[in-house]
Structure 1
Amino acid sequence: MSISIKPNTTGLIFAMREEQEGLQTLITDQELHHIAKRSFIQGNLWGHPVVMVLAGIGKVAAASTTSLLIHHFQVNQLLLSGVAGAADASLKVGDIVIAQELLQHDMDASPLFPRFEIPLSGKSRFSAQQDLSLDLQKATQAFIQEIHQHLSAEQIQEFQLQNVRMHTGLIASGDQFIHDKQVLNHLKQALPDLLAVEMEGAAIAQVCEEHNLAFGILRTISDSADETAHHDFQSFVKNVAAPYTLGILKNYFENKNE
C-alpha cells in the first residue's frame, strides 16, 4: 500500500460516525486507505491537507488510531471533535469546551502511584498546545457569533442554543459513559476544576505528548452526565454537534497559516 505523505497534514479523529456527519463530502482529492480495520480519508479540506478517520469509542481505539495517523501519515497535528458530558454547573447543553488539560479519570494505580497519575510518567495531566488551542478558540468564538448560519431556528429553539458559551479547561476521559450524578459528584470532588467528561481525549493527548505532536480537543456539551444523559443523544450529535464541527473547522482552516 502506497501513501503519499503531504506536509503540514492535520489528522481529524472522530469517535462516532454521527460526529463527522457531512464532513467527508467537503474533502477534495480524496484517497482512501484501509489500515487496521479503519478507513482513512486523505485529501484537502478548505485548502489544507487532512486525514480523517473514524476511530471508534474508548481510549484504546483512540490511542491506536492516533498512533496510525502518526506513523502512516506523519500528521503534524491532530484534532478531535465530538461530544461530552458537562461536569460543571456553569456549562449547559450546546456549550463548547476546548481542552487546556486532559487526564484519565479511571486511571488509579494507587497506592503504588497517586490516583490519576499515568504509571512511570510522573504526570496525570497532559496539556494541549497553546497556539493551536488559541486558534481553535478564535474559530469557536466566530462560530458562536454566526451560529444562525449553521443551525435552523427550529434547532436552536429545540435544544435551547440561544446563549451558547465557550469554555476552556480540564477534560477527563475514561472507558465509561457517565450517566450517574453520584459518580460525577465524586469525580468533581477529586477534580474541582473539571469541566467535562468523555471517552477518548486524554488517550490521544498521552500518545501525542509521547511523540511531541500538537493536538487540540474540542467538545460540544451534549448532556449533564447524569440520568438524563441518553435522552435525544443521537439526535443532538447529528443535528447540533456535527454542524458545530463543520462550522468551527471551517473557521479554523480558512484562517490557518501555513
Structure 2
Amino acid sequence: MNRKIISFCLMLSMLVLVFMPVGCSGKTVSERTGIIGAMEEEVATMKEAITDLKTTSVAGMEFYEGKLDGVNVVVVQCGMGKVNAGVCANTLINNFGCTKIINTGVAGSLDPQINIGDIVVSTDAVQHDFTVEAIGFQKGEIPYTGQFAFPADEAMHKSAVEAVRISAPAVKVFEGRVCTGDQFISSKEQRDKIISDFGGLCCEMEGGAIAQVCYLNKTPFVILRAISDKADESEEMNYEKFKEQAAKNCAAAVRYMVTH
C-alpha cells in the first residue's frame, strides 16, 4: 500500500481517538448505566437530577433517560417483587441498551453486626424462596443451570464500596450476599431460616431477580442496600421510621459511584 495512504489512515485514526465523545468521568457515550429502585424514595433524588430528560413508559414503568452529572443513565422505579424487577432489568438491557445495572434501595439486616443505616454491597445474590429440592436440587439453585448464586461484577463491587466510604463516611459498609424473595421478612423465625440456608447479610425483594437477568444477558451488575430494619418483629416500626433516610444514603452512594 502507498505510504501516503498509510500515513493518512494513521492520522485519521488518531483524530477519531482524540475527538471521541466522552462523559465527565471519561466514560464513552456508548456506555449507559441502568439504575433500579423498587420504591419512589429509592430513586427520587436521582430522577430529579437528570438533565436532557426523556421519559418512556414500558410495561407500566416510567424510564427516565438522560444524563446524571454528565453520565448516560436510565433511572426507573420498578415496583416491589421479583417479577417487576426482572422485567425492569431486561427492559433496561434490551430496550435501552444499558451496559451495566445498579440496584439501589433498602433491606432488612440478617447479621446482628449490621445495623439500621449501614449499607450492604453485594458480592452475590440468591433467591431464598426458590426451591425444587423435591427433584434433587439444592434450595435456591436454578435447575439445569448449575447456578445457585449470581456474582456481582468485581469492578462494580469495588467501585460501590469506595463510593459508600467517600459519599457517606459516617456509614458502615459491609460486603456480602444479598438474599431475595417475594416476602417481606418480619419475624425472627423467617430471618433465622434464611440465615441458616443462605448465610446472607440482608434480605429484600428484587436484587436476586435483577442478578439472574443480568447473568442471562451477560451484563455486569451490583446491588447496594441500606438497612432500614432488622427483619424481625420490630421491623414495622423501624421500616417506616428509617426507610426514607436509608434510601437517600444509598442513592447518594450510587450517584457518586456512577459519576466518578
TM band (smaller chain): 0.7 to 0.9
In structure 1, which of residues 86, 98, 102 is the aligned counterpart of residue 121 of structure 2? 98
> Partners of 2:233 and 2:225 in 1: how far apart?
20
Closer/same/farther in 2, CA of residues 184 and 246 from structure 1, 3 Å limit: closer
- Does residue 1:167 correspond to 2:174, yes or no? yes
Question: In the alignment, is the contact (CA less than 8 A) between 1:43 and 1:50 conserved in 2?
Answer: yes
- SS of residue in 1 equivalent to 2:182: coil
1:213 aligns with 219
TM-score of the pair, normalised by structure 1: 0.86
Unaligned runs of 5+ in 2: 1-28
Moved more, 170-179 or 118-127: 118-127
Moved more, 77-86 or 108-117: 108-117
Question: In the alignment, is the contact (CA less than 8 A) between 1:20 and 1:245 conserved in 2?
Answer: no
- Does residue 1:20 correspond to 2:43, yes or no? yes
CA RMSD of aligned residues (A): 1.3
Percentage of matched positions with identical amino acids = 34
Moved more, 245-254 or 199-208: 245-254
In structure 1, which of residues 171, 182, 186 is the aligned counterpart of residue 189 of structure 2? 182
Per the TM alignment, residue 72 of structure 1 is displaced from its structure 2 partner at its CA by 0.7
2:237 aligns with 231
Closer/same/farther in 2, CA of residues 64 and 250 from structure 1, 3 Å limit: closer
Amino acid at match of 1:248: A
> Partners of 1:131 and 1:227 in 2: how far apart?
37
TM-score of the pair, normalised by structure 2: 0.85
- Does residue 1:56 correspond to 2:61, yes or no? no
Question: In the alignment, is the contact (CA less than 8 A) between 1:22 and 1:242 conserved in 2?
Answer: no
Amino acid at match of 2:259: E
- SS of residue in 2 equivalent to 1:225: coil
- SS of residue in 1 equivalent to 2:133: coil
For these two proteins, the number of residue pairs brought into alignment is 231
- SS of residue in 2 equivalent to 1:79: strand
- Does residue 1:40 correspond to 2:63, yes or no? yes
Per the TM alignment, residue 245 of structure 1 is displaced from its structure 2 partner at its CA by 3.0
Deviations 1:191-244 (A, max 9, x none): 2x3111000001000010011000010000111000111115234222x12321
- Does residue 1:248 correspond to 2:229, yes or no? no
- SS of residue in 1 equivalent to 2:246: helix
Per the TM alignment, residue 134 of structure 1 is displaced from its structure 2 partner at its CA by 0.4
Deviations 1:130-187 (A, max 9, x none): 0011001110111232x5xxxxxxxxxxxxxxxx310001110000000010111122
In structure 2, which of residues 147, 153, 157 is the aligned counterpart of residue 123 of structure 1? 147
> Partners of 2:247 and 2:230 in 1: how far apart?
19
> Partners of 2:179 and 2:159 in 1: how far apart?
22
> Partners of 2:41 and 2:162 in 1: how far apart?
25
Q: Which has the higher helix share?
A: 2
Per the TM alignment, residue 12 of structure 1 is displaced from its structure 2 partner at its CA by 0.7
Moved more, 128-137 or 105-114: 105-114
- The structure whose RCO (Cα within 8 Å, separation 6+) is larger is 1
- Does residue 1:134 correspond to 2:158, yes or no? yes
- SS of residue in 1 equivalent to 2:87: helix
Unaligned runs of 5+ in 1: 1-5, 148-163
Closer/same/farther in 2, CA of residues 183 and 94 from structure 1, 3 Å limit: same
